[in-house]
Amino acid sequence: DAKTTQPPSMDCAEGRAANLPCNHSTISGNEYVYWYRQIHSQGPQYIIHGLKNNETNEMASLIITEDRKSSTLILPHATLRDTAVYYCIVRVRSGGSNYKLTFGKGTLLTVNP
């Protein structure tokens, strides 16, 4: 699986959009970009994933550059409860038993009142 690079920490004001960047310059054509987050030592929580098109769900939006070498997770209206470590993970969609997520250090997003 391709390596990812994320800033170690970011701050965001409550109510504003949080834009979390991720570089994955060695990504292969069949690798997806997944985002998970971990709130204060709870279990990681799936947020969103995509291949090459931008994606949106009830939690966030994912913007992937045309060359797929980087992506941005957008939390449109950050709340204090969004304070967490956010992990960008690149992996091949394999199906089932060898679905192994490799977590990096992620970005600690702190949402300030």
d(CA 51, CA 72): 13
Classified as helix, coil or strand, 4 is coil
Among 43, 8, 45, 24, residue whose Cα is nearest residue 90: 24
Asked if 98 interacts with another protein (CB under 8 A), we say yes
* Nearer CB in complex with another protein: 18/36: 36
| Chain centroid to CA 67 | 17
The contact pattern for another protein, residues 22-51, with x = CB under 8 A and - = no contact, is --------------x-x--xxxxxx--x--
d(CA 14, CA 57): 20
For the bound state, the minimum distance from the C-beta of residue 72 to another protein, rounded and expressed in Å, comes to 20
Residue 14 identity: E
| Chain residues 47-76 in contact with another protein, contact rule CB under 8 A | 49
* Nearer CB in complex with another protein: 95/113: 95
Residues that bind another protein (CB under 8 A): 36, 38, 41-46, 49, 87, 93-105
